[in-house]
Amino acid sequence: MKPKVIVVGGGISGLAAALRLHERGADVKLIEASHHLGGVIATSQKNGFLMEGGPDSFISIKPWGLDLCRRLGLEKELIGTDPDFRKSFVVRKGKLVVVPEGFYMMAPVRVLPFLGSELFSWPAKFRMAMDYFMPAKKNGGDESVANFIRRRFGVEALERVGQAMVAGVYSADPEKLSLKSTFPQFLDIEQKYGSVIRGLRKAGSKKASGPRYSLFLTLKNGMGSLVDAIVKRLPTNSIELDAPLREISKNPQTGKWNASYGRGHQVEADAVVLALSSPKIADFVQGFDGDLARELRQISYASIATINFGYRRSDICHPLDGFGFVVPTKENLSLIGCTFSSVKFSGRAPEGHALLRAFVDSGTRPEVVQKDLEQLLGITGTPVMIQEADYPASMPQYPVGHLEYVQKIESMAARHPGLCLAGNALHGIGLPDCVHQSEEIAEKIMV
């Protein structure tokens, strides 16, 4: 008989789990609290602009996002970043300074652009180059991202670039963020080659030909098309919107899970996948496992908001010859970073216009951000369109030791066969990570 599975949460984690379960022959029911599927994925169109509130792309080096698109027949709709503008900027003393070519997150891989860069002082360049000669740390254990950058490349590398880049991706303080959970490749490289720069250069030279896909991919009509394509593959009656989970419990006699949701609905199933944030999962497991709930509540979340600004291109003096910029905390500006969305991907703004997307802390007023953008990019006119999106408690923070903590949580959850924890709290926040984890959960349910 087909196993029956309830998937709770219609973000990418829940959708990817539901799809894989359906493909493997399970009888799936996905319940979503809101009226909208996709969770933080929110593509919208206004006045000819195509905007993303949440994720605007996914990385292709982690294959699970790309594989999912291919399986859904979306390969032809994939678009990469424009190769002519593959550079980014960092704000330094109120000005945009280009990140030297070949600079990878924190490590300068190409010598000449790095030496010529005005981003770092000469003593800092010398300190960063020391990485080449420094041995690896003895034990390859976890440490904070900030500690790693300071240890290998010095304080300036952290303050002027590393901190801002990390905050731009993880909305997290690098002093607390686990290196092993977020950038394990740097730890591996250090252990293997001693020097991070040497390791990255070797890895780069091993690539016989250029990559087939750009590092960042999106879909022609926005990330919302991924959600639509998954929904199309699922049986119509398998999804219920406006159907918040209220309670789950296990029947000790039958071993089945019972979920009550929406306005008094009940459903019984062999397994339940909770594709929610960890404090929400904690609320639902509290009734039968207070210890697990307590552990799940340890994971803290940061809030983030985005503001899309549409401008007339002629009102922006900056050439916008890159994908955007990040802002070190030291600069004291209202934004964490900004993507030049219409440069990064084609089809995001109408002719003669540009779309800029600012990342800000929740609650930041658009007028303040607009002022900062005017200063940084030499903007003379007012925006023709502004659209805000707020994502409270959406970015889980992975502290040092996160992986051990994940093991603990998962072994506690294993005391409840059929209870599966998905979502971005444990195994990565990027879309490919969420998809991967959910697909693995689905496969485990179906063995």
Ligand X SMILES: Cc1cc2nc3c(=O)[nH]c(=O)nc-3n(C[C@H](O)[C@H](O)[C@H](O)COP(=O)(O)OP(=O)(O)OC[C@H]3O[C@@H](n4cnc5c(N)ncnc54)[C@H](O)[C@@H]3O)c2cc1C
The residue range among 30-38, 327-335, 343-351, 380-388 that interacts with ligand X, by the rule CB under 6 A, is 30-38
Single residue of 306, 308, 342, 370 touching ligand X by CB under 6 A: 306
In angstroms, give the least distance from the CB of 112 to ligand X: 31
Identify the CA nearest to 52 among candidates 168, 221, 217, 191. Answer: 221
Q: Does 245 bind ligand X (CB under 6 A)?
A: yes
Whichever of 109 and 296 has its CB closer to ligand X, that residue is 296
147-186 mask for ligand X (x: CB under 6 A)? ----------------------------------------
Beta bridge partners of 304: 391
Instruction: Give Cα 330 to chain centroid, integer Å.
Output: 24
Instruction: Give Cα 244 to chain centroid, integer Å.
Output: 25
Q: Does 11 bind ligand X (CB under 6 A)?
A: yes
66: tokens are 């790309």
Q: What gap in Å lies between CA 134 and CA 123, rounded to an integer? A: 16
Single residue of 4, 5, 6, 13 touching ligand X by CB under 6 A: 13
The residue range among 26-34, 177-185, 233-241, 366-374 that interacts with ligand X, by the rule CB under 6 A, is 26-34
# residues contacting ligand X (CB under 6 A): 34
Whichever of 16 and 445 has its CB closer to ligand X, that residue is 16
Burial of 281 per CB tally in 10 Å (0-12, 13-18, 19+): buried
307: tokens are 């503001």
Element (H, E) at 164: helix 163-170
Residues numbered 394 to 423 that lie near ligand X (CB under 6 A) are 394, 423
> For residues 245 and 31, is the Cβ–Cβ distance under 8 A?
yes
Residues numbered 357 to 396 that lie near ligand X (CB under 6 A) are 391, 394
Instruction: Give Cα 408 to chain centroid, integer Å.
Output: 24
Single residue of 18, 21, 26, 40 touching ligand X by CB under 6 A: 40
DSSP letters for 292-313: HHHHHTT--EEEEEEEEEEEEG
In angstroms, give the least distance from the CB of 111 to ligand X: 31
User: Scanning the structure block, which residue is given the tokens 């800092």?
Assistant: 124
Q: Does 12 bind ligand X (CB under 6 A)?
A: yes
> For residues 165 and 105, is the Cβ–Cβ distance under 8 A?
yes
Q: Does 293 bind ligand X (CB under 6 A)?
A: no
The residue range among 88-96, 139-147, 187-195, 425-433 that interacts with ligand X, by the rule CB under 6 A, is 425-433
CB atoms within 10 A of CB 382: 12
Q: Enumerate binding residues for ligand X (CB under 6 A).
A: 8-14, 31-34, 39-41, 54-58, 244-245, 275-276, 280, 304, 306, 391, 394, 423-424, 429-431, 434
